[in-house]
């Protein structure tokens, strides 16, 4: 057992001990307080929002960031753009053969940091995850031969190690499902400087990987039940779709095992 495992085991043990001590020692404390303390000490209901580039994740997160019970964690793009002064995102798009491994290693680390972030709020809503990092983006780069096989193997080893040794558990996946055409149109419209080189073909094949993973479920494992939203809808209409899925996100209602588009 290594040091990280011991720390993790010790933390879980202390947590349980504290909850038991509350339950057995307090005659005045109400059950409600015990339950809320236990909830605070355990992981929040964790939702990850997945989808192609340009699928509208930012609008979705902005919508839920107004909710008092939800901690929103956006993709750490600013970190990717400035790793000790280096714009890794820009370098990756400029020269993927040279920089994909560096960029994806950092993405994996920053995603793990987001999974590990604590909150006293009952719900944590993350933009993408360590799962899409490995299953969609690393996969795409490896398939295209832009990430050499030995480099992809190292990222995969790290990923598997993390799954077994850290808490990256997810309770719900929201898949913002767009057509590649709509996603590409939105990418062109937002005009992010690093993304100038993205081609329609790239968006199309990234779409296909998302479909296999989260819609058809023929690729990889899904880390949690999936809610599929029609994210092609216009902004004026999509708000009502967000509202419809609110009870699932706030953990008021469980998602049926095979939930499809709402
Ligand atoms: O999402 C912001 C930009 O970063 C977009 O151009 C796609 C790129 N990106 C990537 O190449 N690999 C990634 C993510 C984003 C997110 C994860 C988890 N992996």
> What digits encode the pLDDT tens for the residues 18-46?
555 555 555 556 665 565 455 446 799 99
Closest CA to 72 of 115, 119, 126: 126
- Report the separation in Å between the CA atom of 246 and the middle of ligand 1, taken as the mean of its atom positions: 26
Please state, as a whole number, how many other Cβ atoms lie within 10 Å of the Cβ of residue 102. 15
- Report the separation in Å between the CA atom of 92 and the middle of ligand 1, taken as the mean of its atom positions: 10
Percent of the residues in the chain that have a pLDDT greater than 90, as a whole number: 79
Please state, as a whole number, how many other Cβ atoms lie within 10 Å of the Cβ of residue 165. 12
Q: How confident is the model at residue 5 (pLDDT cuts 50, 70, 90)?
A: very low
- Report the separation in Å between the CA atom of 15 and the middle of ligand 1, taken as the mean of its atom positions: 35
Look-up of token digits 């040794």: 165
- Is 3 a residue whose pLDDT tops 50? no
Diameter over CA atoms, the chain: 65
- Look up 127 and say whether it is catalytic: yes
Mutate to test the pocket of ligand 1, among 53, 61, 92, 143 (most ligand atoms within 8 A of CB): 53
- Is 9 a residue whose pLDDT tops 70? no
For ligand 1, say whether the CB of 126 is within 6 Å of any of its atoms. no
pLDDT, tens digit (0-9, with 9 covering 90-100), for 59-88? 999 999 999 999 999 999 999 999 999 999
For ligand 1, say whether the CB of 107 is within 6 Å of any of its atoms. yes
Q: How confident is the model at residue 6 (pLDDT cuts 50, 70, 90)?
A: very low
Backbone angles phi, psi at 177, to 5 degrees: -95, 115
Beta bridge partners of 126: 48, 73
pLDDT in the model for residue 236: 84
217 secondary structure, DSSP code: -
The stretch 132-139 carries a mean pLDDT of 98
Catalytic option among 127, 139, 195, 196:
127
Burial 62-97 (b: 16+ CB within 10 A, else e): ebbeeeeebbbbbbbeeebeebeeebbbbbbbeebe
Q: Is 66 helix (H, G, I), strand (E, B) or coil?
A: coil
For ligand 1, say whether the CB of 206 is within 6 Å of any of its atoms. no
Closest CA to 22 of 40, 10, 8, 9: 40
């Amino acid at each position: 057992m290594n040091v990280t495992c011991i720390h993790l085991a010790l933390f879980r043990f202390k947590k349980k001990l504290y909850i038991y001590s509350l339950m057995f020692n307090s005659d005045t404390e109400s059950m409600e307080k015990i339950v809320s303390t236990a909830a605070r000490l355990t992981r929040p209901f964790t939702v990850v929002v997945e989808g192609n580039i340009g699928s509208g994740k930012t609008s979705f997160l902005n919508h839920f960031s107004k909710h008092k019970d939800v901690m929103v964690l956006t993709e750490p793009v600013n970190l990717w753009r400035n790793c000790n002064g280096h714009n890794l995102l820009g370098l990756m798009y400029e020269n993927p053969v040279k920089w994909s491994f560096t960029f994806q290693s950092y993405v994996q680390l920053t995603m793990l940091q987001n999974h590990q972030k604590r909150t006293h709020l009952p719900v944590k809503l993350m933009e993408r995850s360590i799962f899409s990092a490995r299953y969609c983006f690393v996969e795409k780069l490896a398939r295209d031969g832009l990430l050499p096989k030995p480099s992809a193997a190292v990222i995969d080893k790290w990923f598997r190690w993390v799954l077994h040794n850290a808490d990256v558990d997810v309770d719900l996946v929201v898949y913002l499902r767009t057509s590649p055409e709509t996603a590409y149109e939105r990418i062109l419209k937002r005009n992010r400087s690093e993304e100038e080189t993205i081609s329609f073909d790239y968006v199309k094949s990234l779409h296909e990987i998302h479909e296999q993973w989260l819609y058809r479920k023929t690729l990889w494992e899904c880390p949690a039940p999936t809610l599929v939203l029609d994210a092609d809808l216009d902004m004026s209409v999509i708000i009502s779709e967000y509202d419809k899925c609110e009870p699932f996100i706030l953990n008021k209602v469980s998602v049926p095992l095979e939930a499809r588009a709402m």
